[in-house]
Amino acid sequence: MSIAAKFRSLFWAIIAGRRRTFPGFAISTLFMLSLSAVVVGGKGLVRYPGYLLALNRSTGVGIFPQLQMNLRGLLTLFVGRAPYPGRIHWVLAPAAIAAVIYSGILWRKAGNRFLAEGVGLAAIAGIVTSYYAYSYDLLLLIVPLLAMRSRPNDSPREDRWTRVLEMAGLLPLLLTPTYWFSKELHNQCIMTIPPLVLAFVLARRLRLAGVETSAQRRLSMRDGPG
């Protein structure tokens, strides 16, 4: 996980009210920042954003947005495959901020029970809105998605349409031929669609859980004085 992703996780932990996880994110972020400063030096650390900017403006250096499984890659289908598509940048930053805030608020309202859904949604938001994302980054989704499916009886209520969408998002990620097919098309960015579908499903489940939690709190407050 990059330093930028670490800072995004810190921000998300604050919004979601995850007080116990915040120290872990903070310590690991400081450790990675310190280690990077030792390896490349203070000047190298400061110049790194400029290096990335110059790298993205260059051609033929091995950076191909259409091969990345994120919004940046997916949007190249509509705005072209330039190595530095400036129009996309106006979308990525607001999308990343909105995804972190929205996922954090949903989990805060849902409560502490739905750890798998909260972490899964945060992981998808981090991957999809990141600047670089490849197939191996999707491995971060294995633990929360498996944990979520291992306790269906503890899940919030959901309709048939939500369950269909969940399977529609999971199956392409679990079937190797879909990755081969996207690679043959030289547009691996289309594999961004299944995580987006799963993000919608997880967000809906957390939202329903939040409604149930709020209803239970109101009921307990009403029955408390009696």
Is 110 found in the same domain as 11? no
**C-beta of residue 15 within 8 angstroms of C-beta of residue 41:** no
| Residue 128 pLDDT | 86
**Domain boundary residue among 12, 36, 57?**
57
| Residue 152 pLDDT | 52
| Residue 123 pLDDT | 83
pLDDT in tens, 93-124: 788 888 888 888 888 887 777 777 888 888 88
**Domain boundary residue among 35, 57, 79?**
57
Is 168 found in the same domain as 130? yes
**Domain boundary residue among 11, 32, 57?**
57
| Residue 41 pLDDT | 82
Is 138 found in the same domain as 51? no
The pTM (predicted TM-score) of the whole model is 0.76
Is 12 found in the same domain as 111? no
pLDDT in tens, 132-151: 788 888 887 887 777 766 65
Q: Is the dihedral of CA 98, 138, 211, 108 positive or negative?
A: negative
| Residue 57 pLDDT | 67
- Collect all residues with Cβ–Cβ distance below 8 Å to 125 and sequence separation of at least 6: 12, 96, 99, 100, 102, 103, 199
> Could you tell me the residue range of the domain that residue 69 belongs to?
64-223
| Residue 61 pLDDT | 62
Task: Flag residues of the chain having pLDDT under 50.
Answer: 226
Number of domains in the chain: 2
